Amino acid sequence: MAPFAGYNMPIEYPTGIKEEHLNVRNKLGVFDVSHMGEFWIKGPKAFELVQKLTTNDVAALIDGKVQYSCFPNDKGGIVDDLLVYRFSAEKYLLVVNAANIEKDWNWVVKYGAELGMKPGVELENASDNICQLAIQGPLALKAMQKLTSENVVDMEYYTFKEIPFSPRQVIPVLVVVKFMLIIKMLRNCGMPFSKPERNSGYNRSDWVPAIP
């Protein structure tokens, strides 16, 4: 274990890196990525801000699509890379790297202010309110399909949707790479390595039985 972005991050498990690697390549693995940062951009100027902040063309997105992009700086370099989720024309979620949450948030707030957008109104740093689990491997989609009646296995690359998942609540599911999906939910999920304030009442027992 090693500290990372306020979490205790497992570097390797007792069985060793090779066995872990082979299990994910041949079956699936679960990685708690709750350390990632999440920013909500909302309101009538949401599109304008995200289009200004990121290098990719946000106009190419439709609801339920995800885009890989980056924040360019004003010196020809990059502030950070990120994922952009479009929930609607006036609602976007930006997912940034854990080590850069504060820097990225300040960057978003700086340019949001130029459009009259304010933290706590149109801009929200939700990093302490969302946890994420990355389900990776060739059996990932099939395993998660056991927990919902919504079609998961046929979801397209870089798409997401909010679906009933387990008996309790509705959470977004994102397919980010082939054979991988990320589950996002409000904190209180009791995930390992979570900070106390990031503990969300969501039990692993709700989804672990689906893992072969």
Residuewise pLDDT in 10s, the chain (212 residues): 788 777 777 777 788 889 988 988 899 888 888 889 999 999 999 999 999 999 999 999 999 899 999 999 989 999 999 999 999 999 999 999 999 999 999 999 999 999 999 999 999 999 988 878 788 888 888 887 887 788 888 888 888 877 766 555 555 555 444 445 556 555 443 332 223 334 444 455 555 545 55
Q: Where are the beta strands (DSSP E) in the chain?
A: 2-4, 7-9, 29-32, 37-42, 66-72, 78-88, 91-96, 123-125, 130-136, 159-165, 169-177, 180-186
Cα angle value 17/5/120 (rounded, 5°): 140
- What is the value of pTM for the model shown? 0.82
From CA 45, how far away is CA 150, in angstroms rounded?
32
Nearest by Cα to 107 from 78, 133, 66 = 78
Report the sign of the C-alpha dihedral through residues 190, 169, 147, 134, in that order.
Answer: negative
From CA 21, how far away is CA 25, in angstroms rounded?
6
